[in-house]
């Protein structure tokens, strides 16, 4: 009886505190579960650490990631100034033995280390074979390339010559100058180097900043060389040019004879003169020869040269053939160059930002050859070229200098020129009419 009473009392207590009992049980179960989880977690973590540290597992992972990278890597390298063939391959971690083998093959016929800037060397390396080259394309000339292909069986290189066949085509364009010659020519899709050559031809007699007027017209006929797909590979000679200023024609013809090669007017007179009128294209005459108020010193003094304002880096050309007798720092003139053309004439180019490659004292230069670049070195208020012409030791005004024209064709050369001139005129007419 007493036992029944005690059980009944316990039941009443449990019923009264049922929520507390369930909560207690939940806490106990949770604590037990957490302990089990932590024990299992430690085991799992330890197993994971052991797996990560396993050498074979690491090699397997590395192998997987290596295979994610492409096995073959294609490289198109543009040659920079001063780079050699060996230096280029070394930069891509090509094995030395590989470099020596390729050099040996190519150097039999080609001067592989006399590379020109902007040349393109194309090759493929095999990452799985310690960056060994499987294919290499080396440019020998504008139309010839050497290809090396690694044979699978012998692993030796097979050498092939790739020749690009070029077809010459004559293009004729004409237009009206509305803003500038360059802008009008670009609108006609004339190649930039052809435009520069056109301007150079007339640079002996025309100042493009002051002589050209809106509405002046031009005609140009030039060579291009296309590959078999019709893509222009390079341009050739300007064979005909005509610049009409205020209804006055200035016609030039290209005459290709060894002793008389160059451009001539209708009368067989060479366009080339001893000195160019301006040794820079696209520049503005900012200060003339004569007395002026010095922009820095602030007082009047004689300006014994001609200043051409132009953006920094604009190329400067030798105004005539000659030998460089000075290429150094000249105090107030900054970086300057002096060229002796003959026993009579010398020219000076001052305030240059830098000299062109290879320009130094004693070097012979040709007319129109780039010798330096516009700058503002020395005593200068901004980028410009200070240009001087010296005649018999005396500085003179380059813009009023009267120079004798080039030679006049005579005899057999004159006869051949006349035949060539007529042919070019006929060709021009055919191209205008769409016959050719």
| Confidence (pLDDT) at 400 | 73
Tokens of 13: 């207590």
Whether residue 155 is found in the same domain as residue 177? no
CB 175 within 8 A of CB 218: yes
352 burial (CB, 10 Å; 0-12 / 13-18 / 19+) is buried
The CATH number assigned to the domain holding 362 equals 2.70.70.10
Which pLDDT tens digit goes with each residue over 144-175?
A: 888 888 887 777 888 888 888 888 999 999 99
Whether residue 226 is found in the same domain as residue 368? no
- Which of 88, 82, 93, 92 is closest to 103 using CA atoms? 88
Whether residue 143 is found in the same domain as residue 202? no
Of the residues 115, 139, 163, which one is the last residue of a structural domain?
163
240 burial (CB, 10 Å; 0-12 / 13-18 / 19+) is buried
Partner residues linked to 218 by β-bridges: 175, 243
Number of alpha carbons in the 13 Å side-chain half-sphere of residue 177: 20
In a domain, 22, yes or no: no
Give the integer Cα–Cα distance in Å for 306 and 397.
Answer: 7
> Higher pLDDT residue, 350 or 380?
350
Give the integer Cα–Cα distance in Å for 147 and 159.
Answer: 6
In a domain, 32, yes or no: no
Across 390-409, average pLDDT:
79
Whether residue 266 is found in the same domain as residue 415? yes
Determine the structural domain holding residue 218 and report its residue range.
165-273+406-436
In a domain, 359, yes or no: yes
Give the integer Cα–Cα distance in Å for 86 and 79.
Answer: 12
In a domain, 9, yes or no: no
CB 328 within 8 A of CB 421: no
Of the residues 163, 178, 211, which one is the last residue of a structural domain?
163
Res 3 pLDDT > 60: no
Give the integer Cα–Cα distance in Å for 169 and 140.
Answer: 24
Whether residue 250 is found in the same domain as residue 300? no
Which pLDDT tens digit goes with each residue over 243-261?
A: 998 888 889 999 988 777 8
Whether residue 124 is found in the same domain as residue 187? no
- Which of 145, 102, 104, 138 is closest to 121 using CA atoms? 138
**Number of domains making up the chain:** 3
Give the integer Cα–Cα distance in Å for 395 and 389.
Answer: 6
| Confidence (pLDDT) at 395 | 87
Across 271-283, average pLDDT:
76
Across 417-421, average pLDDT:
94
Which pLDDT tens digit goes with each residue over 356-370?
A: 999 999 999 988 889
In a domain, 41, yes or no: no
Whether residue 256 is found in the same domain as residue 308? no
Whether residue 169 is found in the same domain as residue 157? no
- Which of 280, 205, 191, 306 is closest to 238 using CA atoms? 191
Tokens of 324: 């460089």
In a domain, 265, yes or no: yes
The CATH number assigned to the domain holding 230 equals 3.10.450.350
Which region among 107-116, 360-369, 375-384 has the lowest average model confidence (pLDDT)? 107-116
Whether residue 199 is found in the same domain as residue 122? no
In a domain, 64, yes or no: no
Whether residue 326 is found in the same domain as residue 314? yes
Whether residue 294 is found in the same domain as residue 353? yes
Model confidence at 19, in pLDDT bands (50, 70, 90)?
A: low
In a domain, 12, yes or no: no
Res 416 pLDDT > 90: yes
Which pLDDT tens digit goes with each residue over 192-223?
A: 889 888 887 887 677 666 678 888 999 999 99
Which pLDDT tens digit goes with each residue over 127-137?
A: 888 888 888 88
CB 364 within 8 A of CB 389: no
CB 204 within 8 A of CB 262: no
Helix axes 2-16, 18-52, angle to 10 degrees: 70
Average pLDDT, the chain: 80
Whether residue 346 is found in the same domain as residue 296? yes
């Amino acid at each position: 009886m007493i036992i029944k009473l005690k059980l009944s009392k316990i039941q009443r207590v449990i019923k009264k505190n049922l929520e507390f009992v369930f909560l207690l049980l939940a806490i106990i179960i949770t604590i037990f579960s957490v302990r089990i989880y932590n024990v299992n977690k430690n085991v799992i973590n330890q197993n994971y650490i052991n797996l990560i540290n396993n050498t074979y597992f690491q090699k397997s992972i590395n192998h997987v990631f290596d295979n994610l990278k492409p096995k073959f890597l294609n490289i198109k390298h543009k040659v920079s100034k001063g780079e050699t063939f060996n230096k280029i391959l070394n930069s891509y971690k090509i094995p030395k033995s590989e470099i020596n083998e390729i050099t040996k093959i190519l150097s039999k016929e080609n001067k592989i280390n006399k590379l020109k800037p902007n040349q393109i060397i194309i090759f493929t390396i095999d990452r799985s074979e310690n960056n060994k080259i499987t294919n290499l394309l080396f440019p020998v000339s504008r139309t010839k390339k050497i290809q090396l292909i690694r044979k699978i069986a012998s692993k030796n290189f097979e050498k092939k010559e790739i020749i690009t066949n070029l077809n010459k085509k004559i293009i004729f364009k004409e237009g009206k100058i509305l803003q500038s010659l360059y802008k009008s020519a670009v609108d006609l899709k004339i190649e930039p180097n052809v435009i520069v050559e056109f301007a150079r031809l007339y640079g002996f007699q025309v100042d493009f900043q002051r002589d050209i007027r809106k509405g002046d017209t031009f005609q140009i006929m030039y060579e291009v060389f296309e590959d078999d797909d019709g893509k222009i590979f390079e341009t050739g000679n300007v064979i005909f040019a005509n610049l009409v200023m205020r209804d006055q024609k200035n016609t030039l013809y290209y005459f290709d004879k060894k002793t008389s090669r160059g451009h001539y007017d209708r009368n067989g007179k060479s366009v080339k003169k001893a000195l160019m009128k301006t040794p820079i294209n696209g520049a503005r005459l900012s200060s003339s020869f004569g007395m002026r108020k010095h922009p820095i010193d602030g007082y009047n003094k004689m300006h014994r040269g001609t200043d051409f304002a132009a953006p920094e880096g604009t190329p400067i050309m030798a105004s005539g053939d000659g030998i460089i007798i000075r290429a150094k720092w000249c105090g107030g003139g900054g970086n300057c160059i002096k060229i002796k053309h003959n026993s009579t004439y010398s020219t000076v180019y001052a305030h240059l930002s830098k000299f062109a490659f290879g320009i130094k004292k004693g070097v012979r230069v040709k007319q129109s050859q780039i010798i330096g670049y516009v700058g503002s070195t020395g005593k200068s208020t901004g980028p410009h070229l200070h240009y001087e012409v010296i005649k018999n030791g005396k500085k003179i005004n380059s813009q009023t200098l009267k120079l004798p024209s080039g030679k006049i064709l005579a005899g057999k050369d004159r006869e051949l020129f006349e035949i060539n001139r007529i042919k070019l005129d006929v060709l021009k007419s055919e191209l205008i009419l769409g016959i050719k």
